Amino acid sequence: MIPYRTIAVDKTKIPIGTLIFIPNAVGIEILLPDGSKSIHDGYFFAADVGGDIKLNHIDVFTGLLKSKGFSFVNSDSNKTFVAYKVKNKFIEETLIKLHK
């Protein structure tokens, strides 16, 4: 699992291996596990499932850091954000390689 790239999904709604684009993540500065900072491009990779992940719920893996990294990520089902299934061969291949 890759911090700030891997998401857990309900695989009956979003198949494992799906590339997801979340516009709210674009431009957000994130702290990486090695202490460096990066600007997110909004792309995530569905590579995990969880017992509590149902329907349109998405969990963003942040690694061992306590910060969730994104202000739009929360556990309130009344607060939602836009996410798109996208096809981009270059980004898909890059994220698949990271997840192997």
The mean per-residue pLDDT over the stretch 13-31 comes to: 92
CA distance 31 to 47: 21
Q: Where are the domains of the chain?
A: 6-98
In angstroms and rounded to an integer, the radius of gyration of the C-alpha atoms of the chain is 13
pLDDT at 2: 87
Judged against a pLDDT cut of 80, whether residue 1 lies above it is answered with: yes
Length of the chain: 100
**pLDDT bucket at 67, cuts 50 / 70 / 90:** low
Phi, psi of 10 (to 5 degrees): -85, 110
Amino acid, res. 80: T
In this prediction, residues 25-49 reach a mean pLDDT of 90
In this predicted structure, what is the pLDDT of residue 59? 85
Dihedral sign computed on CA atoms, order 74, 60, 86, 30: positive
Half-sphere exposure of 53 (CA within 13 A, CB side): 19
Mean pLDDT of 77-85: 81
